Amino acid sequence: MSTEETPAAQVEIKVPAKKKSEGLFSKKNRKLLKDPLDDDNPITVQVLGICSALAITVQVKQALIMTFSVVFVMCVANVLVSLLRNSIPNRIRIIVQLVIVASLVIVVDQVLKAYVYDMSKALSVFVGLIITNCIIMGRLEAFALANKPWPAFLDGLGNAASYGLILVIVSVVRELFGSGKLMGYKVLPDFIYNFGYSDNGLMILPPMALIVVGLIIWVQRARNTKLIEAN
């Protein structure tokens, strides 16, 4: 009696496909930098951070220092919160975020006092108010707590730079037409004044900052109609 050998059943082992790593500046990451500049600008679209836009845009120098301060605080805070996102208890997450931001603001304040004391005095309480800046707290809560450090850094950089861009634009308009200067240097030629032109003192008042921001919002929506909200 002959016996036939049954071939052993072939078992297929599926090797999981290796997940393709996302590049540092992939399309998704570039979007984090690009969107806040126009489509999702924190000041002109989300209407956040308006107080500082009105208060510290009398001079371009002040606007630049505030911009660099916010960029530093937001980028570092986003990264730190992202690194700690799995360790922060949900009930105290706001307190942890405030402690991180406050610590960074203290560092910024001490650096300003050490190296640009005059600007530190001019900005006075507004540097301290970075702690409660709606843009920073909003990005920590909405993005940094749910994403990895690198995207969180790019999100912070994009939003802070976009915030600073509006500050600089507003300050250029106010300083140029309010005092005829930029960065403290006279830029309007003397012959203009000989024809009767005079600096507009209203431009250095806070209400004019609100009007300039409103004009920027108007121009932005005229150019990008998808930002216009339906009634």
Whole-angstrom CA distances from 216 to 41, 81, 181, 211 are: 11, 32, 21, 9
- List the domain range (segments joined by +) for residue 149: 44-217
pLDDT value, residue 69: 92
Residue 5 belongs to some domain of the structure: no
The pTM of the full predicted model, rounded to 2 decimals, is: 0.82
State how far the Cα of 81 lies from the Cα of 147, in Å rounded to an integer. Answer: 10
Residues above pLDDT 70, as percent of the chain:
90
Write out pLDDT tens, residues 187-207: 888 888 888 888 888 888 888
Write out pLDDT tens, residues 99-128: 999 999 999 999 999 998 888 887 877 888
Domain count, the chain: 1
Residue 12 belongs to some domain of the structure: no
Residue 97 belongs to some domain of the structure: yes
Residue 3 DSSP one-character state: -
Write out pLDDT tens, residues 13-61: 665 555 566 677 778 888 888 888 888 888 888 888 888 788 888 889 9
